[in-house]
Amino acid sequence: MAQGSNNNEAFLGSAMQFMQAGQSMAQQFMDYLGKNAPAFGNTPPPPADPQALTALQKKLMDQQMSLWQAMLAKQKGQEQDFKVAPEPGDRRFAAPEWRESPIYDYLHQAYLLNVRYLKEMVEVLPAQDDKGREKMRFLARQVADAMAPSNFAATNPEFVKLALETKGQSITDGINNLIKDFEKGRISMTDESVFEVGKNIATTEGAVVYENDVMQLIQYAPLTPKVGTRPLLVVPPCINKFYIMDLQPDNSLIRYMVEQGNTVFLVSWRNPKEDQGQLGWDDYLERGPIDALRVVREITRVKQVNALGFCVGGTILTSALAVLKARGDDCVASLTLLTTLLDFSDTGEIGLFIDEQGIAAREATIGKGGLLPARDLANTFSFLRANDLVWNYVTGNYLKGQKPQAFDLLYWNSDSTNLPGPFACWYMRNMYLENNLRVPGRLTACGEKLDLGSLDMPVYLLATREDHIVPWQSAFQSTRILSGKVRFVLGASGHIAGVINPASKNKRSFWINDEVKTDAEGWLTAATEMKGSWWLDWADWIKEHCGEQRAARKIGTTKYKAIEPAPGRYVRERAV
């Protein structure tokens, strides 16, 4: 009896410590806000309502006490009347070890209560504006994610169990994994030894037929006896490697495009080194899509081509087309934009990283020349989904000593690219900070005033419903900017999985609605959900713009001979 009493007292002491931990976490967050007020608005916000904060603290203490009592009841074999469940999709505490021991069962539920408290506290704190509020939410999530008991050896029962079962080998393996990743300067997300660009990823047959200091132009070999007269030029994003569109044959969007009877060309951006640190936005337009469109037309001997841009590649492509339009050149018959922003009013959480102070600092250091390192970009995108792309691997690689599984998409995710400083600074200021591209005539590129409203070709717009990089409602705003007939399609899932959704696997779904004059939410309310991949819908649409069928031709011409096999050497260059 005395022993049981002592256990209960120890348990109660632990409960009180976790109540204090939640308040301590919140106090650290408040202290940070006080020291960094300019980052959350131009002036420090007014003080928080003390009554609201007191009410939240009381709520936390009541809930922690209820949880403690439920744990005591569980020890006595009684039914628990109070449980704290993780949010949907949170797998950190899914293993049975978190519930087999009353200590760890209590530990993770107490943490979840503290996280709720922190999130609720953010909502009662005053903020200068909506962006300031979003910054506080983002920071609170980063603090909460970092403090999870699953991230620490002493509070992770999976670590303890595995260490005992392996007689400490898992600890040794974890330390070795940590040392290797420290040497690489990044967290390993996949078994990188399994993949090789050009060998088992990016294997669609083709050749580089043109190159300059910004990009290589790849022409892919035909897979059908006949092709449409109009070729298709693909412009991927320059902030990562193009082979996300050509991973392996069964999930390659590029191969699918070729299989549909398109003569496909693709811009493979160079991974810039110091020698390319002077390149700016105009260089990427002129020596990227504009150069590529000229060469594609010369090779295929046509006046018009179809063009497709993905993410920032779509922004670059559309800007380049506006330059050509101003020069009187209507060389694109149809335009496809995949998860692309033209109106940057709402850029999701990425926009939280971009403000006048930050951009001015970048402009002062790399705005005239230099590089925005790939590591900075990779870390930014990873911490947008920290539990999935950071702490998941901290736990698996270092605490459990596991070797990451081979996954082509995560290999691509780790193959980051640098950006030239002038390009990056111009892009962040004029797009993310000032949202200038949507305003006719406000921006000048390649000596021409940009007016996206002058683009009147048919347009296929794809957004994805769970996209945290290009919110689908923001992508929908392109229907208000471009003047051609628009087909807007909303895919399921996120920025990558929603786009790379092979038709053959018949997974997920997409929404269609021909009426695009309503607002985004009105469009979705009236939209029809279609099972399967949007690839099939796009294939039907692009066929209407491919022109007459003709016999497929070999790669290149006498003038544009094959320089090297696809995927080329530019995509193989890794950031250092």
DSSP letters, 57-86, are HHHHHHHHHHHHHHHHHHHTTPPPS---PP
Q: Which of 186, 492, 146, 138 is nearest to 350 (CA)?
A: 138
Q: Which of 572, 568, 565, 569 is nearest to 206 (CA)?
A: 565
Mutual orientation of helices 102-124 and 2-35 as an angle, nearest 10°?
30
Residue 432 tokens, joined: 């993310």
Q: How far apart are CA 86 and CA 144, in angstroms?
A: 13
Q: How far apart are CA 496 and CA 489, in angstroms?
A: 15
Please name the helix (run of DSSP H) or strand (run of DSSP E) that holds residue 309, with its range, or none.
strand 305-310
Using the structure block, give the residue that is written with the tokens 């001997």. Answer: 301
What are residue 217's phi and psi, to 5 degrees? Answer: -105, 120
Cα separations (Å) of 226 from 200, 541, 549? Answer: 27, 18, 6
Q: Which of 238, 467, 491, 462 is nearest to 349 (CA)?
A: 467
Residues 6+ apart with CB under 8 A from 201: 195, 243, 246, 247, 248, 408, 411, 412
What are residue 263's phi and psi, to 5 degrees? Answer: -85, 105
Q: How far apart are the first and last CA of the chain?
A: 64
3-class state of residue 219 by DSSP: strand
Residue 191 tokens, joined: 């078994």
Please name the helix (run of DSSP H) or strand (run of DSSP E) that holds residue 210, with its range, or none.
strand 206-211
Residue 255 tokens, joined: 């191969």
Please name the helix (run of DSSP H) or strand (run of DSSP E) that holds residue 8, with its range, or none.
helix 2-35
Q: How far apart are CA 499 and CA 467, in angstroms?
A: 10
Using the structure block, give the residue that is written with the tokens 């293993």. Answer: 95
How many Cβ atoms sit within 10 Å of the Cβ of residue 388?
A: 14
Active site residues: 311
What are residue 91's phi and psi, to 5 degrees? Answer: -105, 5
Q: How far apart are CA 301 and CA 286, in angstroms?
A: 21
How many Cβ atoms sit within 10 Å of the Cβ of residue 528?
A: 9
Q: Show the 3-state SS of 257-299.
A: HHHCCCCEEEEEECCCCHHHCCCCHHHHHHHHHHHHHHHHHHH
Q: How far apart are CA 491 and CA 499, in angstroms?
A: 7
Q: How far apart are CA 215 and CA 98, in angstroms?
A: 51
Q: Which of 446, 422, 374 is nearest to 278 (CA)?
A: 422
Residue 364 tokens, joined: 């002062």
